[in-house]
Amino acid sequence: MAMTARQRARVSLYVQGAIFLVALVAIILAVDWKTIGTSVFNFGKIGPMFPDIFLSGLKNTLVYTFLGFIVGLSGGLLLALMKLSSFPLYRWIATGYIEFFRGIPALLVFIAFGYGVPLAFGVQWNVTIVVMISLGMVASAYIAETLRAGLQAVPKGQLEAARSLGMPQWRAMVTIVIPQAFKIVLPPLTNEVILLTKDSSLIYVLGLTASQYELTKFGRDGISSLGAGLTPLLVAGAFYLVITIPLSLLARKFESRSARTKR
């Protein structure tokens, strides 16, 4: 009584569905709904989060991410060019930098620039400067590797054609090679922005005033002030998705566009 391949596939699908259903029911039965209702999904008490979650939380997350990205993009481009340089010292510096900042937790960088460096040099930096530098330095390490791959993906003939027209090396890079490299790395670069958006939450290790709170810190603050348990953090999490999901869709659009033009 052998089954055909199609019958076997159908049975296997039913079995998978059944397992999933049983697991779901088990979870629903095991959860303490009463506690969850008061301390996780307690949306009745989160009214006071608005509109400040827009005015400080969301706004600051966007501002911190943007500043970090600008520094990261400039630093990343510089490092990528250094890494492709024919001058060995530049390559070593770039490689050292990239390996170091990709290898340590971003949190340590925030602590170093939030407390260590200001202490060492006796300076006072405001939060925006610290975020810009910390996030930017970590981002440039990642972006550098992305851009390096993009620069190397531009065919060598492009540089040769540009140089043959009398363009100096820097001019050929700026006018011909780098614009093409950016087009190639647009999808992975958008993903870097998503990572940065989430890393901006690490600013919580610094002492912040309420107007400097970004989404995560704003949510944590709500935990202690609203008496709705973890609910405010859940709301903050949803706001991250509001930023990151459109970025994801954008990255996918860039990807399909470059796949189309490659023909």
Partner 1 sequence: MNDVVNSSGSTSTIHAAGVAIKDLRKSYGSNEVLKGISLNVAPGEVVCLIGPSGSGKSTLLRCVNLLEQPNQGSIHVGGFEATDPDVDIDKMRRKVGMVFQQFNLFPHLDAKRNCTVAQTKVLKRSQAEADKVALHNLERVGLGHLADRFPDQLSGGQQQRVAIARALSMDPELMLFDEPTSALDPETVGDVLSVMRNLAKEGMTMLVVTHEMGFAREVADRVVFMDGGVVVEEGVAEQVISAPTQPRTKEFLRRVLDPTHIEIEE
- Where on the chain is the footprint of partner 1 (CB under 8 A)? 155, 157-158, 160-168, 171, 175-176, 179-180, 183, 261, 263
Question: Are the CB atoms for 52 and 211 separated by under 8 Å?
Answer: no
> What DSSP element (H or E) covers 187?
helix 178-199
Shortest reach from residue 176's CB to partner 1, in Å: 6
Question: Are the CB atoms for 65 and 135 separated by under 8 Å?
Answer: yes
Shortest reach from residue 85's CB to partner 1, in Å: 18
Question: Are the CB atoms for 141 and 94 separated by under 8 Å?
Answer: no
Question: Token digits for 74?
Answer: 């400039």
Question: Are the CB atoms for 77 and 254 separated by under 8 Å?
Answer: no
Shortest reach from residue 254's CB to partner 1, in Å: 15
Shortest reach from residue 33's CB to partner 1, in Å: 57
Distances (CA, A) of 225 to 6, 42, 186, 218, 229: 58, 14, 41, 11, 9
